[in-house]
Structure 1
């Protein structure tokens, strides 16, 4: 676990060194000297970590802590995705309906494909 972390830190340091030597770098790391930009960058990173971390941890929680099957965990995630629309029904009722239908259909297709592939691989 420490080796990938050290490799990532080394690569970030090499990128920063490379970016500081260029006149027009791909990402200007000198902008991080501006306090408001640095704070906004940290807050954006933290917000993304908290929002998208749940998408990674929630299936693990369903599988390991609640001992749900793969299909049950997937269906619980579909329910979470539908509920995550927030106040969409009040603001845009027709668009919310179609986006919910599309989300549910896409999720069910995504859930059924691995099951179908697994059953096809089980046959001799």
Structure 2
């Protein structure tokens, strides 16, 4: 699969995984207000990212606390939380720490329980070898 797109259950925002190349992939967050894009070194940690979305799909009724994943170099991270109504909030952190203009950003993307299984399948297919 060339891309995995996670669409917000609340707005037109999306989180897209694309341009997979060996140990690297690109993550893009797009909303009417902002676009963030970063090439990420996934190394061997992509399996843990796939597991995060599998957990979200399995626990679609909600869970306690936060479930987190971060890339080895820290340029991309996701923190997933939920309520007991099946609403999942993804807090997405993207950083640029190389080069002359260093920046970091944190955005949130809400998804509904009904989306979680398809999201997990899409992410799993994207990161499959």
TM-score, scaled to structure 1: 0.25
TM-score, scaled to structure 2: 0.25
Structure with greater helix percent: 1
Structure with greater strand percent: 2
